[in-house]
Each structure stands twice: as C-alpha cells, then as structure tokens.
Structure 1
C-alpha cells in the first residue's frame, strides 16, 4: 500500500452506486436551475443581474427645495406612500460636487431623511433629471463620481436612482461608462445598495404600441459593468404625438408594454419578473408638452394596469403638485399645483390602491 493513501473500502459496487446517486443529484440541480432561469437560449447576451427581492412600491417624487413643503414623513402620510423619490441631487455649476437642485447643501435634509427611514419609508435619492448637471459628466472619472455618490449614501439611504434624459446625455458613452463603473464599485462596498434607472418613454405609434424607453444606453452600460438593477423607471410624460394628446393612459400603458420587452431582453428575465422590475412615473395634470394632460381618470386606468401586471413601482411627478391651482396661476405647468380641478392629494388617493 502506498504511504499516505487509504485503501478504498466496499468494492466497485459501492462506487457505482455512489456515482449513480451523484448523477441523480446533479441532474436534479441542473433541472432546478433551468426552471428558475428559463432556457439559456432565451437569455440575452447582455443579460445582467437583477434584484430578485421585490416589493411593490408606491413612490411619489418630492421636489426637495420646494418652498414650504411638508416633511418627508408628512408627505408619506398624506399620500399613503411606502417610498419616496427625492429630487434632485445634481452638480453645482461647473463643479462636480452634488447639491439639492444644484444649490442646497446635500446634508441639509439629513435629519429629515433619517426620520423617514426610521419609519420604514423607502427613501430613494434621485440624481440627474432633465435640467440638472449629471455627476458622471461633470466629474469625468469613476473614482471622483463614486466619491460624490458616496455623499448620497451617507445620508443614510440604500437606494439610488439615476435619471438620465436628453439625447446628448443618453448618448454620452464615456459618461455612461464612468457612471456604471462608479455604481458597480459602490455596490461592491454596500451589498444592500439598490439601483434604478429613470428613462424617457418613447412616444407611442399606436394606442397599444410603443418602444418603451427612448434610449437604453445608460442602463445597458450599467448591466455590462455588473451592476445589479433593481428597477427601470419610465417617465410616462411629455410624449408628443396624437396618442398622448388624446389619451395619456393609453400612451402610458403602451410605453410600459414596450419597456416590458426591453427588460426581458436586457436583464434576461421572464415576464413576471420583468413586470416587477418596471416603474411608471406620470406627470400629473398639465404636462410640459402642450395639449397633454394626465387626468384623474387616467390615473385610475394606469393604477389598474399596474396592479393587474404586478408592476414593481408606481410613482408620480410630484407630490407638491397634487393640489388644485389658485386663480392667480395663469400658465402651466408649475411646481406647486396640477392645473386640473381636484381635491388635495386626489391623485395620491388613486395611486395608493396599487399597494392593495
């Protein structure tokens, strides 16, 4: 007998039985994985990790620097929300330092945010937006960008949303890569950090047909960098075209159906999980695009659609607009009222039904 090697006991029959048992276990494991993930032929080459722990969130936007707004906990109570998007952490002037609306110190509302988090409100800090400075573009490299995003995490939140909109910004491959690398590094540091992308909705070509997001480039860059995506939020507003002018609810649901296909392809997930990764955010009342008004009836239709399909998040722009304008408001839209006849928080009372 060779030194250091134990003699095998039990003969070849025992080894054959063990091998058969092992094959059965492996086959069962492979079958289980296949059932969970679906056929590999259905997976996209760009498929990336998705967060598989979902809960439905109803998350209105809060314009943080709006004068005389209620506190975050008060807004959550008034709207019935279990989550809030805080808008917007953007860069200041020519620097790459983040501030609320580019003007207010990022830690000004830290105590208010902590109070909301302590009351189990899911606080989502949104960076970017249509008019704000984009941190990845302003900072220019992943390390500096990560340092600015760290300031947002230091507010005590574990959910960051990246609102990337506008043709030039969406197509900025360098900024998309920098942003993705910075987010990936943060997720390595904070395993519980959730990430979403907020993207423009394409204008429907028919009442039941739209492409989903206008551009998926920022999202795909993050997937390619290994970022775990919790949600893709579609801004269903300011569409342009006849469909939206005639029926904002039809435009919204068509865009959501288009995004559903995009999520399945890019994330490599099945239908139900794709719906749970989708957010819908309409602009209540008067939109920026002339002739487009999102009504309370539209809100009811969209809420029913979201509930039926198991959509992961329903929000709206914005809680501060969820009231009727006074007679002194001559033009629309404005930041502190909707431009339609309504009771205070009437849209909120409709949307919160998505929570069941």
Structure 2
C-alpha cells in the first residue's frame, strides 16, 4: 500500500545466565505498560474486526482532524472513531531509516528519523497522543511495519537479534498487542523474511503480540512469491492472526470477462482460502477446515482512486466485499485508507465523507468482555549491593491473582544487573494471568563500589573523578568545587548508569 510523504520535514525465550559477576534476563509479557506515553493496548480485539489503515505520516490540514495547534499534524484517531463508530485501526507505516545502532535498527514513521522516539518533534508527539486518545475511549490500533515505499526492517538487517531487539523496543514502548507486517515489492525476498520470521517468533514468545501478515494478491490468489512468504513465517512457527490480502491494483489482464474489481476481490478471498489450507498443511502440519481458513483471512481494498492504471473502487464494490466477508466469516476487513474516505486527504474517487466507512463499519463482532482483575506482584524493592555481591532478582518476590491464585512461578524478569560494574540498573517484573491481563513493576538496583569517595562540597574534583552522592554515582566532566551533583544549571557532573 502506498503512503503519503511528510509535508512537514522538520530476547529469545526467557534467558537467565548467572556468572560470578553478572545476571541478565529477558521477559515474556502479554500486555505491556508502555514507555512512550501512548496509552495501553487492548488485549482482546473483536474476533472479527474492521480495521482500516490510517496514514499517520500524512500531513492533515482539515480543521479538527489533526493533532496539533500549528495548522496541521497527524490524523486525529479519536475524532475519526467518534464520527464512524470504528474503534480499531492499522497505523501506517514504521520503516527503517537505513542503519543499525547499538544492536537495533534506527526507525521512524515513514522512514523519517525525526518521527521516532527520542526526537522532540510535534508531529511525532501528535502521533502518540492520537493513539493515546483513541485508547482512552476503548479503541486500539496495530502498527504496520513495511509498506510499498521506504525500507522495511528486514531489508536493512537480517540479523535475528537486531530485528528482535528493534521490534521489542517498539512493541513495549507503544504497549502493542497487535502488529502488521506489510510485505510488498523488494521486501518479499524469502531469505530476508526467514530472518524476520525468526525474530518475530522470538517476539511472540516474549510479548504474546498478535501478528498479521499483509501481502499482495491477484484475483486468482497468491503468487509463488507470497506462498514463499507463508513458508517463511509458518515454517518458523510464527502464529499468524490473519493473512491480509491487498485486494487491489489487479490490472485489467487479471480480470475475467465482465468482472469488476469488487467481484475480483471476492474471487481473491475464495482463492486465498484454498491456498491457506494448503500452506498450513504443508508448512505448519496443520489441517484447517474451510471455515477456519476463512477466519484467517483479512481483506484490504483500495477505496476511491488509486492510480490511472486502476478503476475507481466504488462504494458498491465495497458492499460486495463486506457482504462476502460476512457470509464467509473472514477475520478482518480493511481499506486503504481512512484518510481518503474521511476526506482529510484529497482523492478524486471519494464523493462524500465516509461513504466506504459506513459500509465497512457494519462488519465485525463486539470486543470480548472481561471482568477479570489483573494479578498483583509483591516484594519488589529498590536495592543497593556491593560490587561482586550475588544478586537474586526473584528472592522474596511473589505474585498472586484473584482468579488464578499463586502465579509466583510465572513471574518473568527483564533487565541487566552487572555486579562487576558500579552503576544503576533497572529490573522489570511481569506476570500474566490466564485471561491475558498483565502486571509489570520495576526496581532500581544500585551496584556500589565501596572504594568510591562520597561527594564533599569542600573538595576539588577534576575531569574523570567519580563520587557517590545520595546513593547515585557521578563522574566529573571538568574541574569543579562546591557544585552539588545534579543541582547546577550547567552541571559539571554526569550520572554513571
């Protein structure tokens, strides 16, 4: 699927290894607390869902439909949801910015480094706020990786650990419970996707995140290229929530006599159903019934005008697709894009606001209700230990749940405590109950070098001197005397983490 460019440019399974000097852990959690201030993802999406794509990189200027106060910004998901009744979306696209740093791929929305975490950019902050506002009213969104333009993660690196670490940061940061892999064009290389599949499998083992695989399709079904993609992911034990077919841009040569794009999309759904059954039998040793195969299908059309090579996709054709989706009980309907259909983006094929959304919003089932309570973790405290001491992260820590009882043996720990090196380390504890609700708490472990001097306001310090002040270690950046660590405007001290 295509994206609009900026108008404004502006862990493997739990690993625990203990040596004489260090301990490290990797977690498994179903729902994350999130560190990007974008709200918390919903664990239980509807069994059948309509989730249109929203281009979060598109620069929206229509009054009231953008996040920000400077005349434009990313789409306002809450307003779009309020006006359409649609609660779930696929947000496009996070892409690689083309390099790897500290074992992770550098990324940004639309491939723009400014639209990434750590950058104080109003458009990026607007994207996060838009998602947070949607979640506050009971909605949620998957984030889509890849797309027709730009560079997918698995094109930048085929290092499984690099891919895994990158996904993990984003899934945890945005507190995602679902992601979408939009695999198009050159990103369909099988070997690159095998590496990506291995990383995604690790990600699912670690976080429980659901994964949709979005691929091109013809009315006759998937080509060998897409079958190879199913091989890459299914053979590596990735659990695919949906195989989402891009039912669009077929070309006149692929149509049957008298067939329009709406009818062609129906044929693509039915053709893909048969191929999914074959693929699961061959690559996952799993036998699916027709109904089970249909339930794994997502169908995404391109509403309105897509290109001069394709006809305008009409509301009548959308109705055909939705009616067929209902009759076959497929898993997801979607369309590219809500930006067009809401008229926050110019498109000559859309004649009235939400003309397709009114049709697609009739598809889907209610979210799964739950009165389940989250588990409780006890005994997690901040600690100070000396260099060389033994650190046992689970000592004295317990977990319990109102419905499930004792969950202590299900606590997963993430973090690194290097007891050979003075510093401050964060350790996270996560536990999930049988319904998928999770709780995460954190502790700060300070490893102290007993030979380090305590800060004195009367002593002269030079660059490189290390002191301990209020349990925190600091290193002098230049000559200083009488300047309390962490207090001066131009602080001569830096924390040692």
Say whether the fold is shared (TM-score over 0.5).
yes
Question: For residues 269 and 114 of structure 1, what CA distance do their matches in structure 2 show?
Answer: 37
State the shift of 1:341 in Å. Answer: 5.0
CA displacement at 1:94 relative to structure 2: 4.9
Stretch deviating more after TM superposition (62-71 or 90-99): 90-99
Contact in 1 for aligned 2:341/2:357 (Cα 8 Å): yes
Q: Does 1:298 align with 2:342?
A: no
Correspondence 1:195 to 2:214: no
Which residue in 1 is equivalent to 2:153? 135
Question: What SS does structure 2 have at the residue aligned with 1:162?
Answer: strand
Instruction: Give the conservation status (yes or no) of the 8 Å contact 2:297–2:331.
Output: yes
Are positions 1:238 and 2:238 aligned together? no
Q: Distance in 2 between matches of 1:310 and 1:278?
A: 9
Q: CA deviation at 1:222?
A: 1.2
Specify the alignment match of 2:167 in structure 1.
Answer: 149
Runs of 4 or more above 6 Å deviation:
none
Q: Counterpart in 2 of 1:122? A: 140
Question: Which of residues 291, 300, 307 in structure 2 aligns to 1:272?
Answer: 291
How many angstroms does 1:316 deviate by? 0.5
How many Å apart are 1:246 and its aligned residue? 5.2
Q: How does 1:13-162 map to 2 (within 5 A)?
A: 55-68=47-60, 69=66, 70-94=75-99, 96-103=105-112, 104-107=114-117, 108=124, 109-153=127-171, 154-162=173-181
Deviations 1:48-84 (A, max 9, x none): xxxx996111111110021124412222222322310
Whole-Å separation in 2 of the counterparts to 1:151 and 1:143: 12
Matched length: 286
Q: Which residue of 2 aligns with 1:224?
A: 235
Q: What residue is the counterpart of 2:355 in the other structure? A: 346
Summarize deviations over 1:21-40 as a string: whole Å, max 9, x none. Answer: xxxxxxxxxxxxxxxxxxxx
> Normalization by structure 1: what TM-score?
0.75
The 1:285/1:231 distance shift into structure 2, 3 A limit, reads same
Q: Unaligned 5+ residue runs, structure 1?
A: 1-51, 205-209, 325-334
Q: CA deviation at 1:118?
A: 3.6
Say whether the 8 Å CA contact 2:98–2:156 is kept in structure 1.
no
Q: Please give the alpha-carbon distance, in whole angstroms, between the structure 2 residues aligned to 1:337 and 1:53.
A: 31
* DSSP-derived class of the 2:132 partner: helix
Q: 1:179 maps to what in 2? A: 196
The change in CA–CA distance for 1:278 and 1:127 in structure 2 (over 3 A counts) is same
Equivalent in the alignment of 1:15: none
CA distance in 2, matches of 1:349, 1:271: 29
Aligned counterparts of 1:133 and 1:264: Cα–Cα separation in 2 = 31
State TM-score, norm by structure 2: 0.54
Q: What is the distance in 1 between the residues matched to 2:259 and 2:300? A: 19
Higher helix share: 1
Distance 1:156 1:114, change over 3 A: farther
Partner of 1:32 in structure 2? none
Report which of the two structures shows the higher radius of gyration computed on alpha carbons.
Answer: 2
* Residues 65-107 of structure 1: CA deviation (Å, up to 9, x unaligned): 2112441222222232231000000011455312100114234
Is the deviation greater in 273-282 or in 105-114?
105-114
1:314 aligned counterpart, secondary structure = strand
- RMSD value, Cα: 2.3
- The 3 A distance-change label for structure 1 pair 139 and 189 is same
Maintained 8 Å contact 2:131/2:140: no
Name the CA distance, whole Å, in 1 between partners of 2:350 and 2:144: 29
Contact 2:144/2:180 (<8 A) preserved: yes
CA contact under 8 A between 2:221 and 2:268: conserved in structure 1? yes
